[in-house]
Amino acid sequence: MALILTVIFVALIFEYINGFHDTANSIATVVSTKVLTPRQAIMLAVGTNLLGAMYGTAVANTIASGLLDTKVFQVSNMVIICALLGAIIWNLVTWYVGLPSSSSHALIGGLCGAALAAANNSWSVILWSQPDPDHWYKSKGILWKVILPMVTSPIAGLILGFCLMAILYICLQNARPHSVNGLFKRLQVLSAGGMGFMHGSNDAQKTMGIITLGLVAATKGGFFDAVPGWLSWLHTPEGTPGDYKTPIAWIVTHLPSWLQFGYQPEVNDLKKQFIPMWVIVTCALTMAAGTAAGGWRIIRTLGHKMVKLHPINGFAAETSSAAVIFAATHFGIPVSTTHNISASIMGVGAAKRFSAVKWSVVEKMVWAWILTIPVSALLGYMLVRISQLF
């Protein structure tokens, strides 16, 4: 019992850190352009992150079932804890030095490293590539869900930011600067809200997937067969008997929806793995609380050090980034909000003039991006090995 509760607790710590670590993603531009005060921006981010976290579960399903081959190793809650700790350590290090790294990739790296250690260095534990010839967006594996989006989504954000900014420059070249600033100060509130919503929709789901993975591991291990009845409140998705591996897993689908706690059977088709409502709500509230704590070190890097922004620039960057993240979330792809908003800001700055972007700051950020998955994977791997000694 203590182990599954520890998984949930550590996962929520990660979600909280994710909230304040990635707060800058949705509010750095609106703060740097002085459209909103820091306090106002954080309140906007809290509300929109909370709403976004309640939107869909496609990304959560990818984390829970689309990256690792659970037939190669036994998913245990200790492995999940080590994966989360690896991601938390890397998040705290990059937050301390003010680098906007990806919490998403830290979690994925930690999960892969911990699983590799648990599988005794069998690389087959990682689902590298499972293409779907009929629907590319349903393809599974690290290549399709992590590596390609890690490269293509920032490029898309950069190009979209550059193009949108260029179009705005062309359309508004004869407009008075005062009128332009007044208009985009209002519009940037909407774009910042959209960015906050998409950040919550993509990032919060990753922890939902981790907690669900822990519940599946606990259920498969017979944990819920031994706990007191009041802890075995049941809730699984609507489905047919063929979707589930045991009769009880089908029976509980017909219970009232309010009977929901931790019993989480693994379905035959992992794409149908259900994310319980209590997990969704808890993760949403935790991310909102973390967002309220703020992340001023990273805000300074994104909003001030990389490029000087005006309201029209902030609007273009936030709109471009939110559009890319919306597409990724729709297809269940766990992209980095950090990478996307950073790339969009670069594109917006380059549209003004290439030298407007401080490329020395960008270089440091890119190194953090490159190192995130391998370093967090190494941390997850080492933590599992250490745990095996006891």
Domain map of the chain by residue range? Answer: 2-387
pLDDT at 286 over 70: yes
Residues of the chain with pLDDT > 90, as a percent, come to 20
Residue 287, token pair as written in the block: 């991310």
* Separation CA 63–CA 75 (nearest Å): 13
With a CB cutoff of 8 Å and minimum separation 6, the contacts of 131 are 139, 141, 144
The pLDDT value given to residue 247: 53
> Residue 241 is which amino acid?
P
**CA 368 to chain CA centroid, nearest Å:** 17
pLDDT at 250 over 70: no
Other residues' Cβ atoms within 10 Å of the Cβ of residue 167: 12
The pLDDT value given to residue 232: 45
φ and ψ at residue 62, rounded to 5 degrees: -65, -45
pTM: 0.77
DSSP 265: P
Can you name the residues that pair with 64 across neighbouring β-strands?
none
Contact predicate 110/87, CB 8 Å: yes
With a CB cutoff of 8 Å and minimum separation 6, the contacts of 134 are none
With a CB cutoff of 8 Å and minimum separation 6, the contacts of 42 are 23, 27, 291, 292, 294
The sign of the dihedral angle between the CA atoms of 307, 308, 314, 316 is negative
Residue 232, token pair as written in the block: 């075995």
Quote the mean pLDDT of the chain.
Answer: 78
- Per-residue pLDDT tens for 163-197? 999 999 999 988 888 888 899 999 999 998 998 89
* Separation CA 333–CA 353 (nearest Å): 32
More confident site: 84 or 237? 84
191, containing H or E segment:
helix 177-220
> Residue 51 is which amino acid?
L
* Separation CA 316–CA 329 (nearest Å): 20
Give counts: helices (H), strands (E), the chain: 16, 0
Residue 57, token pair as written in the block: 């579960």
Residue 239, token pair as written in the block: 């489905």
More confident site: 19 or 99? 19
HSE on the CB side for 336, CA within 13 Å? 34
Residue 66 falls in which region: left (phi positive, over 0), alpha (psi -120 to 50) or beta = alpha
The pLDDT value given to residue 8: 87
- Per-residue pLDDT tens for 227-249? 454 444 433 333 444 454 455 55
